[in-house]
Amino acid sequence: MVILLCSNLCEDDNSPQSLVNVMKRMSKCFIVPESIKEMKKRHAQALQLHKLLFKEIPTLTNEELNYLTFNDIMYDAIKCGIVEFIHELIASNPDLVWRVDNKGRTLFAYAILLHQEKIFSLIYELGEKRYSIMTKRDVFGNNFLNLAAKLSPAFHLDRVPGAALQMQNELRWFMEMESMVPAKYKERTNENGHTLSALFTKEHAELMKQGETWMKNTIASYMVVAALIVTVVFTTAFALPSNKKRTQTCHF
């Protein structure tokens, strides 16, 4: 199609208007499907609606926010990973980063529990204030590190194939959170008396067993395949005819 259009340009005059006409025809080759265009349009409209609604949030009292089940709305947005929603929410009313639900948890605490890394990264925009939020405890005595030590929800674990890789992902997330929290908070226990290492081990005990089983089965599968390959190679080697020329014996 592009070659044909270019050949038409060569046959026609090389005027700017002719080039524009060709470019218009070429653009038709890359038309975005209507379904995608409609989806992007709705997304843009939803963001505009959010911005209008967020302007009204600072005028609402805590009682009015509770009546609107605001915490549930925020939780659903975090669970679905809608970064734009949370970003606009914080931009419209920065004080919402301190808002807690009936469990004493902020929106960033839920971002950790639900493993929403992009949403949690918004905490860096708070500057030095982020340390006060990160060391804040919920009603169960858990700070951010305690929450990071908990097992991720199933919908997040299922994104990674294999229990061993899931365990690796869990450990990476925990170590990333650990590097952000001041050292004096790392050895504190929650209300059940669990240290961070004890809590992580307890929460991930079943996943660790599944990971060990997964690795054993994987290694066993590879060993079977390797044994088959070796068998085929040796069988083929012995089956091939020798390249040495046979000497003929003369009988007199």
Please report where in the chains the tokens 């939803």 appear, as a residue: 46
Residue 38 to residue 43: CA distance in whole angstroms: 9
| Domain map (residue ranges) of the chain | 46-113, 137-223
**Residues 137-167: b if buried by 16+ CB within 10 A, e if exposed:** bbeeebbbbbbbbbbbeeebbeeeeebbebb
- pLDDT above 80 (res 143): yes
The per-residue pLDDT for 9 is 45
> Could you tell me the pLDDT band of residue 5, with boundaries at 50, 70 and 90?
very low
The per-residue pLDDT of the chain, averaged, comes to 76
Amino acid at residue number 101: D
**Angle between helix 205-239 and 196-203 (nearest 10):** 60
Give the model confidence (pLDDT) of 14-69 as tens digits: 444 454 454 445 444 444 556 777 777 877 777 777 777 777 777 878 888 887 78
**Angle between helix 2-11 and 16-27 (nearest 10):** 160
Average pLDDT of the segment spanning 80-96: 87
Tell me the C-alpha to C-alpha distance, in Å, between residue 176 and each of 111, 206, 207: 14, 22, 20
